[in-house]
Amino acid sequence: MKKIGILTFFWAHNPGTFLQAYATYQAIKRRFPDYSVEIIDYRFRRIKFNFRLHHFNCINFYKELKKYYIFNNFQNKFLKKSKHKYIGLDYDGAKQFLLQNQYDLIVVGSDIVLYLLEYHYRNSIPSIYWLPEDLHCVKVMLSSSGYNVDCAALSEGLKSRLTKSINDFNLITVRDEMTYDLITKTLGLNNHSILDVSPDPTFDLVIDYSHGDSYVQKLKIDSSKRIAIINLPPGHQKTQMIIKCLKSKGFKVASFNYNPMADYNLTDISPFEWAGIYKYATITLTDRFHGTIYSLKNFTPVLVIYFKRKSSNQYNRTKTYHLLKEFNMQEMNYIHADHIQNSNQISKSIDLAIEYFDKKLITGSIARNKQKYEEVLNRMRALLT
């Protein structure tokens, strides 16, 4: 039986990361029923349980330790992984690992797999997600992102290796305009006919609400109250201001990160529970890409608050901004944390995000994203026929 390997982020203990890997795996299995499909068990670092200051609270320690094991169990139960694994940044070692698995097709993505670490810039070596030329199989880049690649920091040697890599792919689909520009303008893709923009695979994933419903019952969350779900930097001063504003407006606050000011701390939530819990919220305030997607999939108004970090590129364009732009929501539903001056400003932004949320518009955009993803899978299928 022929083999397909999916090279993506799956190992981080993050619901969005897991769900994009799971969605990709399920979609390719469905499209290629006569192939053996597996997640390539490659990680550039190990995931360990990190003890934090708030773990001195026994309940918090238990919840986060539970989360650690939940994600490990989900990876083992719901993702078929390659028999062997490779952990490390060594490009040649990772290449040999891929060669030994003898894949007929390697799918790179989705997620920000084209991301480069300081190690890569310093040593002028790409990550293995930029596949080597001498890896002889069909190569597809699927809904991948390199939005935060620092083009100015690319040495000529590294830039040359990245260019050679992309020009050896059979099909490339990227998740955002920044990655499209990176591949076409900076790296100079020769054949633009193999390049397209495609949505994140989680748009194609059906939500099983039984998981979220059970979690809400277990935590005794009062769904009759107005609930605001937040996923913002927990120790940031602006986050505390936002929570105080929400409470002054009568919201109960549910936080995915531990926060002593929150009414509900959802730190032990599983990926499937996480996917459906957004339907219980009146509004979501987040700086996360997949959190924005799942708020929209649950038809919950969302306000994206951008906190300056390494998640933007040299043009200060973020993946969440590009996502909202696809839904024509970038003006009303996106604000910069540094531009927040007071609670009144936050309060007004919350009210506007709720008032002008257009469910009909969201429904149409989600349907188009699902259709586009299916078209990309059809193109991929044609490569093996």
Give residue-wise pLDDT tens across range 234-291.
Answer: 889 999 999 999 999 999 999 999 898 999 999 999 999 999 999 999 999 999 999 9
* 310 pLDDT more than 60: no
Mean of the pLDDT values across residues 301-329? 78
pLDDT tier for residue 311 given thresholds of 50, 70 and 90: very low
* 317 pLDDT more than 90: no
> Residue 235: its pLDDT value, please?
83
Mean of the pLDDT values across residues 180-197? 95
Average pLDDT over the chain, rounded to whole? 92
Mean of the pLDDT values across residues 324-349? 93
Mean of the pLDDT values across residues 371-382? 95
For residues 46 and 68, what is the distance between their CA atoms, to the nearest angstrom? Answer: 13
Domain layout of the chain by residue ranges: 3-203, 210-366
> Residue 49: its pLDDT value, please?
66
Its CATH architecture, for the domain 3-203, is 3-Layer(aba) Sandwich (3.40)
Angular region, 301: left φ>0, alpha ψ -120 to 50, beta rest: beta
> Residue 61: its pLDDT value, please?
79
* 314 pLDDT more than 50: no
> Residue 238: its pLDDT value, please?
93
Lowest average pLDDT, out of 45-54, 171-180, 357-366, goes to 45-54
Looking at domain 210-366, its CATH superfamily turns out to be Glycogen Phosphorylase B; (3.40.50.2000)
- What are the tens digits of pLDDT across the range 37-77? 999 999 988 777 666 665 556 777 778 888 889 999 999 99
> Residue 147: its pLDDT value, please?
84
Query: In whole angstroms, how far apart are CA 135 and each of 2, 25, 42?
Result: 16, 22, 16
Domain 3-203 shares a fold with domain 210-366:
yes
For residues 289 and 203, what is the distance between their CA atoms, to the nearest angstrom? Answer: 12
For residues 359 and 363, what is the distance between their CA atoms, to the nearest angstrom? Answer: 6
Query: Model-level pTM greater than 0.85?
Result: yes
pLDDT tier for residue 31 given thresholds of 50, 70 and 90: very high
> Residue 51: its pLDDT value, please?
64
Q: Determine if the peptide bond prior to 210 is cis (ω within 30°).
A: no
